Amino acid sequence: MLSQGKTVRNFLQRATGVLMPGDPPHERRKVSRRAAKGNVWARPGMRVTFRAELMPGRVGAERSFRVASVLPRGRVHLDGIAGEHTETEFEAK
């Protein structure tokens, strides 16, 4: 029987794909290789559209912007709008 702490740890690890300190080094390498493959939701030059509830009263064309650059941790800079933005702010394609 697994202890309660180990069960929670295993659940979180499977749910997030993130390994905890103390995990075997070969497991950590697998995660970093997976992240390095470029599993990103946006690329420079791609058009993204903010969700309607974030910009009420605007049609889709007014909520669409081009990605200027992709930053670490999945954030992006957009042409024509200031700040860093995350995937959750945009409509799913």
* Residue 34 pLDDT: 46
Helices (H), the chain: 4-16, 25-36
> 9-44 pLDDT, tens per residue?
667 666 666 655 666 666 555 555 545 555 678 999
5 pLDDT higher than 90: no
Model pTM greater than 0.95?
A: no
Residue 42 burial (CB count, 10 A): 19
Task: Tell me the one-letter amino acid at 73.
Answer: R
Per the listing, tokens 């945009």 go with: 90
**pLDDT tens per residue across span 67-83:** 999 998 889 999 999 99
Residue type, 64: S
